[in-house]
Chain A
Amino acid sequence: MIKTQDLTKIFQTDEIETSALNSVNFNVQKGEFVAIMGPSGCGKSTLLNIVGLLDNPTSGSYLFNGVDVSQMRESQRTKLRKGNIGFVFQSFNLIDELNVYENVEMPLIYLKMSASERKARVEAILERMKISHRRKHFPRQLSGGQQQRVAIARAVAANPGLILADEPTGNLDSKNGLEVMNLLTELNREGTTIVMVTHSMHDADFAHRIVNLFDGQIITEVKKQMGE
């Protein structure tokens, strides 16, 4: 599903050039659950953004479902991203002015889905995430765990094949964190590919494979035995 070769990303400010990724070869198979670990500033988020088609690499190639996307224009990337990739962030990134229902509905609107179909989908997903009783509430009326469940609901609403999660439990207490991890695992079992960036070894244990990043390079890859 994801195949990168010599992926390099250099950030340029006025005078300083910072190399965030350095010749990264990163592959993910369909149905995998991969955790990316490493210290702050090692390039985890940058890798995730490129994988999520939010950003272009400076050089190197990236095949997403067999299509080279490394040189695509933004509009093309947007088109490809829609319905294929869902995002979950550490800080939830819900829109404050929209209620729970509207937040989850948003990606479906951009997919030009009909209103009735949207309604059915959103209702079902809210039900599944156990927050349908909160559908009329606004993000700031919810607890952190509830907000992250809404964010996950939004990420999976369009039924994407890939979910990218950037420290999904970082702002949550352990109980809520565990709940989120269970949700992700469940989604993965149903066939959704998951790539997750995390600091927490505990969270990383849920993954099939752990990739360690340091200074923009992949240092180690640990593959766990299935069914362990």
Chain B
Amino acid sequence: MKNIFKSTFRNFVRKPATNLINLLGLAVSLAMVIILSVYSYSELTTDNYHKNGDRLYLYADMSGRMYMPAILKDQIDLNVPEVESAVRLAGSWEPPVFQAGDHDPITSDLVFADVDFFKLFTYEAVEGNLENALKEPMTVVLTQSLANKLFGKDHALGKTVKMNNDKELTVSAVINEPKANTSLKFSAITSNSTRKIVQANGDEFTDWGWCDFQTFILLKEGVKPDETAKKITALFPKNKDDQQDYSKLKLNPFKEVYFSQFSLFGSDYLHCGDKRKVMILILVAAMVLMIALINFINISSSQWVDKIRQTGVLKVIGARRSNILWNVLFEAFSLFIMSLTLAVILVGVAAPVIGNYTGIHFNQHLLYSPVFLLISLAGTFTLSVIFSLVPAFRISSSRAVDNLKKTVENRSSNSIFRGVLVSAQFIIAIVLIAFTVLVQKQVNFGSSNLGFNQDNIIGIKLTPQLSQKREVLKKLLEEKPIIEKISFTQYYPGKFFSHWGSNQVIDGEKKQFSFDTFNADASFFGMTGLQLTQGRFFSDDLTTDKNKMVVNETFVRDHKLKNPLGTKMVMGMEVDAGLSEIVGIVKDFHYKSFNQPIGSLVIQNKSYASYCLVGLNSIDFQSLHHSLEEIKKISDGLSPAFPVEISFLDQAVEKMYQSELQFRRTFSLFAGCAIVICCLGILAMSIFACQRRIKEIGIRKVNGARISEVIAMLNKDFVKWVIIAFVIATPIAWYAMHKWLENFAYKTELSWWIFAMAGFLALGIALLTVSWQSWKAATRNPVEALRYE
């Protein structure tokens, strides 16, 4: 046993460069596999921790209708005995501002829920009792982190927070931070009875026409969800004019909600993930592992020749076959174990950095759990046995006499085998490079083809105080010479805008209308550079323009309007809502995220606004930031009780694509690692190739070969394998990229240069790596190579 350790160690030290390459490549790839598998595990088990999770459903049509009327719950409580409890959840329109005593006000989020919320969803109380926490109106449950922000280290229970500088809420409980892998994200939660007071909204709780809530259902044990869903759907009052499709309304298991591609209008509390991305990352992890394993096979098989000679000596002095087999296996296993140890250390060090960069967060404690250690040890053991079994048998079964002779050397089948493996690595590398370029191209395409101007615009979010002093704000801003235009609007990229559905009578015909809408003033158009296709924009000067609207092309198309200009519609739910007239049509632009199709849009000329857009003279970066400071000073002065959010419009746009951005970063980071490991592999291969051909190089040089000719000869082999890889990789990459792009409503082109670039990059990387060794080999004095035989 001691001897095995010794010989393992000595074999490692004898060829430090290639063994280190082997070790590092394996360690980095195992680290990536660990990170990605822990992340994927955490993503795939999202929302799995609720005690009643198996009976928990969301009543909705995940591909469309997510909002339910409040009164539905009351009807379920009365008429559907299979339901143990129904809970309505809704986000707040605007993020509320909380203030505790004299502390600074804090912009937070707030979810409205029914009393049974904590019966459906599992949370741990730090302070207070969750069972009754939402019973009384004007009470609030805070997460630990928000409570700490508001009250410092003091106990929060029983204390009050002021909401939006107005009503006071009493803290009835504090809960532990919700787990990272949950679709429900909030820092404060209050009851729907509180909603009636702080956010009173017409007949929201009594009228079937007001759809503001997501309805979660806890079924009794053994109840079939499909039948219950039908019963719930039957509760909707039947109305002949109602053209809504009720057939898609279902009870969706809560555990599956996270990976359904639903969309909510701006409410921030319910999040969805993307299973496709998780799957792609798992695939990337698998590919990286494959590259590293190929390195392992290549490097260890290159060492066979040496090892066979070594075992020849051992056999001559009487070693049994099993001794040698065990020796080879042990050597492989110890290399894998060292890599795993290194990988775990690497993950510990790099995980926070990677998390910051890519947005991949996971529970680090998982890394040190016995289950994880057991699984990774078992995995490592299996891998090392599988991948060293063939060489182990070959080495141990070869005859001692043959071993001592050189007949085993330079079998051409060996070098073809290694070439094929190098090709396989390059296929993966080329596919990954091409995909990285494509993801980048798609992200660029998304943010640069929105159809409106984003540059040099600053958005000020209007707090209640700023809304009141709008004219003062405008006057103060106009005094600054750097400010060119000012517009008040409800629109801001990535923020909430309304979706309306209504019945209209157009040309004596009844029609169902459904559209997104926001308010804007006349200068909004000039500032964002929207293009008119028909009619005109609003004009501020005309008092008659108050009830005018501008619609987009999709609106005209979707609602089949023959003469859109002059069409009059009833806008608003109020009884006295007058008729509004369409005066202009704008070219379609991406007011929603690029990943969603452009919807029907109505821009209304009404005064209610939630943002003030400030257009600046095009100027340099420094004065841009200076003016940001000035604008912040002005708005802060006008809004002492509410923190004012100010941001650049283009950054807000970028935020809309956060998940794409993070995906791009994750993908390129891991693809980059894969390529580095690939490089390490061919570096090792080229070291071996040069060592193997050292005599040949010497002979050729003696016979008149120039250095450049020797380098070309050595590089030719690798270039050949890269070209083969390129030919095979291109259709694979094309297919994968094509599939990926299918998921986007608007997609970038699959240009030929992506493949060319990937191929040339791979070739360049290979040539650089190999040439380094080739150069070293070619410049050696041939005399040295030929001196010893």
Q: Residues of A at under 8 Å CB distance from B?
A: 45, 49, 52, 54-55, 74-75, 78, 81-83, 87, 89, 91, 93-97, 106-107, 110-111, 154, 158
Contact B706 A110 (CB under 8 A): yes
Please give, as numbers and ranges, the residues of chain B lying within 8 Å of A154 by CB-CB distance. Answer: 703
Please give, as numbers and ranges, the residues of chain B lying within 8 Å of A82 by CB-CB distance. Answer: 704
CA distance A45 to B783 in the complex (A): 10
Instruction: Report if A78-B706 is in contact (Cβ < 8 Å); known contacts: A93-B695, A95-B696.
Output: yes
Contact B704 A87 (CB under 8 A): no
Contact B783 A54 (CB under 8 A): yes
B707 part of interface (Cβ distance < 8 Å): yes
B95 part of interface (Cβ distance < 8 Å): no
CA distance A97 to B783 in the complex (A): 20
Q: Which of A49, A97, A106 contacts B703 (CB 8 A)?
A: A106
Which B703-737 residues have C-beta < 8 A from chain A? 703-707, 709
Please give, as numbers and ranges, the residues of chain B lying within 8 Å of A83 by CB-CB distance. Answer: 704
Instruction: Report if A75-B706 is in contact (Cβ < 8 Å); known contacts: A54-B781, A95-B696, A96-B410.
Output: yes
Query: What residue in chain B is nearest A84 (Cβ atoms)?
Result: B704
Instruction: Report if A55-B781 is in contact (Cβ < 8 Å); known contacts: A81-B704, A93-B786, A111-B704.
Output: yes
Please give, as numbers and ranges, the residues of chain B lying within 8 Å of A75 by CB-CB distance. Answer: 706-707
Q: Residues of B at under 8 Å CB distance from A?
A: 410, 412, 695-696, 698-707, 709, 779, 781-783, 786-787, 789
Please give, as numbers and ranges, the residues of chain A lying within 8 Å of B787 by CB-CB distance. Answer: 45
Contact A106 B789 (CB under 8 A): no
CA distance A49 to B787 in the complex (A): 11
CA distance A97 to B781 in the complex (A): 22
Give 30 pairs: A residue, B residue, CB < 8 Å, sorted on A. Answer: A45-B787, A52-B702, A54-B702, A74-B707, A74-B779, A75-B706, A75-B707, A78-B701, A78-B704, A78-B705, A81-B704, A82-B704, A87-B702, A89-B786, A91-B789, A93-B698, A93-B786, A94-B699, A95-B696, A95-B700, A96-B696, A106-B700, A106-B703, A107-B704, A110-B704, A110-B705, A110-B709, A111-B704, A154-B703, A158-B704
Query: What residue in chain B is nearest A94 (Cβ atoms)?
Result: B699
CA distance A106 to B412 in the complex (A): 21
Taking the closest CB of chain B, its distance from the CB of A50, in whole angstroms, is: 10
Query: What residue in chain A is nearest B412 (Cβ atoms)?
Result: A97
CA distance A107 to B706 in the complex (A): 11
CA distance A74 to B706 in the complex (A): 9
Instruction: Report if A107-B703 is in contact (Cβ < 8 Å); known contacts: A54-B783, A55-B781.
Output: yes
CA distance A54 to B704 in the complex (A): 10
Contact A49 B704 (CB under 8 A): no
Please give, as numbers and ranges, the residues of chain B lying within 8 Å of A54 by CB-CB distance. Answer: 702, 781-783
Taking the closest CB of chain B, its distance from the CB of A165, in whole angstroms, is: 13
CA distance A45 to B707 in the complex (A): 23
Please give, as numbers and ranges, the residues of chain B lying within 8 Å of A78 by CB-CB distance. Answer: 701, 704-706
Contact B699 A95 (CB under 8 A): yes
Taking the closest CB of chain A, its distance from the CB of B694, in whole angstroms, is: 12
Instruction: Report if A49-B783 is in contact (Cβ < 8 Å); known contacts: A78-B701, A96-B410, A97-B410.
Output: yes
Please give, as numbers and ranges, the residues of chain A lying within 8 Å of B786 by CB-CB distance. Answer: 89, 93
Taking the closest CB of chain B, its distance from the CB of A204, in whole angstroms, is: 22
Query: What residue in chain B is nearest A158 (Cβ atoms)?
Result: B704
Please give, as numbers and ranges, the residues of chain A lying within 8 Å of B698 by CB-CB distance. Answer: 93
CA distance A78 to B701 in the complex (A): 8
Please give, as numbers and ranges, the residues of chain A lying within 8 Å of B709 by CB-CB distance. Answer: 110
Taking the closest CB of chain A, its distance from the CB of B305, in whole angstroms, is: 14
CA distance A8 to B700 in the complex (A): 27
Taking the closest CB of chain B, its distance from the CB of A184, in whole angstroms, is: 18
CA distance A52 to B704 in the complex (A): 12
Please give, as numbers and ranges, the residues of chain B lying within 8 Å of A55 by CB-CB distance. Answer: 781, 783
Taking the closest CB of chain B, its distance from the CB of A155, in whole angstroms, is: 9
Query: What residue in chain A is nearest B706 (Cβ atoms)?
Result: A78
Interface centre among B703, B709, B783, by most A CB within 10 Å? B703
Instruction: Report if A97-B704 is in contact (Cβ < 8 Å); known contacts: A54-B783, A55-B781, A91-B789.
Output: no
Query: What residue in chain A is nearest B410 (Cβ atoms)?
Result: A96
Please give, as numbers and ranges, the residues of chain A lying within 8 Å of B701 by CB-CB distance. Answer: 78
Please give, as numbers and ranges, the residues of chain A lying within 8 Å of B779 by CB-CB distance. Answer: 74
Query: What residue in chain A is nearest B697 (Cβ atoms)?
Result: A95
Interface centre among A93, A106, A158, by most B CB within 10 Å? A93
Taking the closest CB of chain B, its distance from the CB of A20, in whole angstroms, is: 12
Please give, as numbers and ranges, the residues of chain A lying within 8 Å of B695 by CB-CB distance. Answer: 93
Please give, as numbers and ranges, the residues of chain A lying within 8 Å of B704 by CB-CB distance. Answer: 78, 81-83, 107, 110-111, 158
Query: What residue in chain A is nearest B698 (Cβ atoms)?
Result: A93
The 9 A-B residue pairs with the shortest CB-CB distance, nearest first, are A82-B704, A110-B704, A107-B703, A91-B789, A93-B699, A95-B696, A49-B783, A54-B783, A110-B705
Task: List 13 extra interface pairs beyond A97-B412, A107-B704, A110-B709, CB under 8 A.
Answer: A49-B783, A54-B702, A54-B783, A55-B781, A74-B779, A87-B702, A93-B786, A94-B699, A95-B699, A96-B696, A97-B410, A97-B696, A158-B704
